[in-house]
Copies of this chain bind each other. A is one copy, B any other.
Amino acid sequence: MKEFKFESFEKSLPRRKFLLSTGMFAAGAVLSACTLTEEPIRLADADSAAEVPAWPWNYKKLDPEVARKKGYDGYFSNGGCMGGAIVGTLGYLQEEAGAPFTSIPIEMFKYGAGGAVGWGTLCGALNGAGAFLNLLSKDYSKIYNELIGWYCGFPFPSDKHESYCKFPGQITTVSNSPLCHNSVTIWCTEAGVRFDSQEKYDRCAKLTGDVAAKAIELLNAEIEGKFIAAYKPTEEHAACMSCHTGPKSPIGNVQGKMDCLDCHDDHTK
């Protein structure tokens, strides 16, 4: 089995301050020029640029199960969870519908891997799915809110990747959070494997496919007029928010929908 490595995480580690002399600055400039140049690309004139359709772009209905497999594969081919979710949604739409979707490079969504180059914030699969939903619907907010709420309570990974995955039969955990840090750490602790193991990469690839599939399920429900916002915050969260937010709360200082008691003690008890 070929070992998968995470380039983007490794590159984000602090590097030594080696650009200290003029000569070394020049060397740095040459290195940089390989990936970043100052000249703008101009491949289209003003007329063709005007052909870019107004947002939101129209949606061609996709198959959640195809998206699930593409999201899994995309995790390994496009820089992790955010890039994988984009392969399973926008990339899939590019294959099915061509332009204008092909004008958005799928590689620009690698940055969300590991909750933003490994910082552990928003799960990258959710981040990629958000961009996809937002591209296609003015009502992205209600659909995306539902997707995030579903994610918090779902036992990842699903068992729908058994026929092609590298590690079938993995244990499942519920993160109770949209944060990569919680999702990965809870699963790794329960599974007894490292965060940079092949087992964990396979688990997150499956999760990526699962999120891509669910985003498409919700979007399909929306165009069929069947979308229902089922997610509700927990009673504990609602109790905290009765003081900390809401139009009539006395404090109203908190922004967020994550479960408060994951990080805070309940100071009312």
Contacts and interface: CB of A to CB of B under 8 A. Distances in A.
A172 interface: no
A266 interface: no
Interface in A231-269: 231-232, 245, 252-258, 262-263
B257 A120 contact: yes
A238 B45 CA distance: 51
Nearest to A133: B111
A39 interface: yes
Given A25-B226, A99-B44, A111-B131, A194 B252 contact: yes
A118 interface: yes
Q: How many copies does the complex hold?
A: 2
Interface size class of A (residues with CB under 8 A): 35 or more
Interface stretch (A66-74, A140-148, A161-169): A140-148
A114 B55 CA distance: 21
Interface in A204-227: 219, 222-227
A98 interface: yes
A5 interface: no
A18 to B, nearest CB: 9
Given A105-B55, A226-B19, A258 B130 contact: no
A97 B44 CA distance: 11
B228 A36 contact: no
A52 B105 contact: yes
Interface in A118-136: 118-122, 126-127, 130-131, 133-136
27 contacts: A11-B141, A27-B225, A30-B225, A32-B222, A32-B223, A35-B56, A36-B136, A38-B58, A38-B223, A39-B58, A40-B59, A41-B53, A41-B57, A41-B97, A46-B98, A55-B107, A110-B134, A114-B256, A116-B122, A116-B130, A116-B178, A118-B255, A119-B258, A121-B258, A185-B253, A195-B245, A263-B263
Closest 5 pairs (CB-CB, A-B): A120-B256, A29-B225, A40-B97, A103-B103, A28-B225
